[in-house]
Amino acid sequence: MSSFNAAAYHRLVIKVGSALLIDEHGALDTNWLHGLAEDVAQLRANNCEVLIVSSGAIAIGSRVLGINRRKARLPDLQASAAAGQVQLASAYREVFGTLDITTAQVLLTPSDTEDRRRFLNARGTLGRLLECGVVPVINENDTVATEEIRYGDNDRLAARVAQLVMADGLLLLSDIDGFYTADPLQHSDAKHIPEIRGISSEMLAMAGAARSDVGSGGMQTKIQAAQIATHAGCATIIASGKLTRPLQRLGEGARCSVFFAEGSPAAARKQWLAGSLKVAGSLRVDEGAVLALRKGSSLLPVGVRSVKGDFQRGDAVTITAPDGREIGRGLAEYGANEAQLIAGCHSDQIEERLGYRGRSVMLHRDELVLFDTYA
Ligand code: GLU
């Protein structure tokens, strides 16, 4: 029996490695992509939201530009990515379109997932796309990412995306069907490990380095991705996507390795908010807001009485009850100056006060935590 059960996931990030999409001549394999689209349609029919992180831009683009990837320097790779990304995105649009699935291209750099202000922007866009029933097709923005700041491989990017959107599943599809004690191509006695709880440094050492010609990630980047995702409450599955309809095959029992999540995505996010952030200011709220927050709502400007501190959008702020007690904290959707302008405002007054439309919440419900005694 397969340990991958698609029905267990509500929001799944699927990472597609270059080697699956691009054939030996550097051409995009539309048949394979069509099979993936059918798998995605099936997942969506079962109420699972899907995001795809797809590699392949550099592999396609280097063929188009006649660049030899083995000798390529960073500008060659960036030019290849620019030329290849157009084709990659249009292949997804065309193929998924045949099944009435709308796709959207999202290009990210590490700072979009790590800088909290940009993190809020990326999360907002991806969240809205999912609400619109779209499948985001994400890649690294290779054309602007320089050597020092690149992810370089999409395994870790996919894990960051999973963390960003609070996915409960991350499926890394590549040319290998799971985690082994050694590289199975070089060691016939390498043992496949189907289920993993907790990743040890020994496992990282076992993972070795990259070996695929077309993609850039090896087992090591997959394990690092699993580390990021499982800490964020997201299970990670390493599986082969070599055959068509990879998810269907997994459902039928194809071999894979599952790294179990540590808790849920919501619990991991709350723990991070509660524990590891430096607070830069505070929002004093009224009784109505305290009640709404307890019911799980976002904090609206109308419920904010006063604003203290000098904080920027994305900084952590304390939520203070009318009696002065600190009841929680969250990531500010507005910097202090703007927060002051709209404190106490109804949503329809925000535009007038700010001079632009703005956002409707002061703290988003996914980015705030109430301390246990108040939750
Ligand atoms: N972003 C690169 C591309 O689209 C791929 C990185 C990877 O192979 O993981 O070509």
Q: How far, in Å, from the CA of 203 to the mean position of ligand 1?
A: 24
Ligand 1 binding site (Cβ under 6 Å of any ligand atom) = 18, 55-59, 81, 139-140, 142, 153-154, 215-217
pLDDT of 274: 81
pLDDT of 374: 59
The dihedral through the CA atoms of 193, 198, 199, 201 has a sign that is negative
Residues 6+ apart with CB under 8 A from 132: 102
Q: Ligand 1 pocket test: which of 13, 15, 18 has the largest number of ligand atoms within 8 Å of its C-beta?
A: 18
pLDDT of 276: 65
Scanning the structure block, which residue is given the tokens 């990837």? 69
pLDDT of 13: 98
Rounded to an integer, what distance in angstroms lies between the CA atom of residue 110 and that of residue 156?
10
The amino acid occupying position 256 is C
Mean pLDDT of 311-329: 93
* Strands, E assignment, 17-128: 49-54, 103-108
Neighbours of 323 (CB within 10 A): 9
277-370 and 6-269 share a CATH fold: no
Mean pLDDT of 228-246: 95
CA dihedral 237, 241, 247, 253 (to 10 degrees): -80
Contact call for residues 64 and 84 (beta carbons, < 8 A) = yes
What CATH code would you report for 277-370? 2.30.130.10
Phi, psi of 13 (to 5 degrees): -100, 125
Answer whether residue 210 shows pLDDT above 90: no
pLDDT of 304: 97
What end-to-end distance do the CA atoms of the chain give, in Å? 40
Neighbours of 131 (CB within 10 A): 9
The amino acid occupying position 291 is L
195-208 pLDDT per residue, tens:
999 988 888 877 76
Output the six-digit token pair for 126. 């991806």
Which secondary-structure segment (H or E) carries 245?
none
What CATH code would you report for 6-269? 3.40.1160.10
260-295 pLDDT per residue, tens:
999 999 888 888 888 767 899 999 999 999 999 999
Residue 340: closest CA among 373, 307, 292, 305: 307
Answer whether residue 216 shows pLDDT above 60: no
Q: Ligand 1 pocket test: which of 216, 219, 224 has the largest number of ligand atoms within 8 Å of its C-beta?
A: 216
Mean pLDDT of 190-194: 91
Rounded to an integer, what distance in angstroms lies between the CA atom of residue 167 and that of residue 118?
19
Answer whether residue 2 shows pLDDT above 70: no
Domain boundaries, the chain: 6-269, 277-370
Q: How far, in Å, from the CA of 152 to the mean position of ligand 1?
A: 7
Rounded to an integer, what distance in angstroms lies between the CA atom of residue 319 and that of residue 244?
51
pLDDT of 200: 85
pLDDT of 368: 93
pLDDT band at 212, cuts 50/70/90?
A: very low
> Among 5-9, 174-178, 201-205, whose mean pLDDT is lowest?
201-205
Rounded to an integer, what distance in angstroms lies between the CA atom of residue 325 and that of residue 328?
9
Mean pLDDT of 9-38: 93
Q: Ligand 1 pocket test: which of 14, 20, 58, 143 has the largest number of ligand atoms within 8 Å of its C-beta?
A: 58
Please report, rounded to a whole number, the percentage of residues in the chain having pLDDT higher than 70.
Answer: 95
Answer whether residue 344 shows pLDDT above 80: yes
Answer whether residue 152 shows pLDDT above 80: no
pLDDT of 5: 87
CB-neighbour burial class of residue 231 (10 A; exposed 0-12, middle 13-18, buried 19+): middle
Please report, rounded to a whole number, the percentage of residues in the chain having pLDDT higher than 90.
Answer: 69
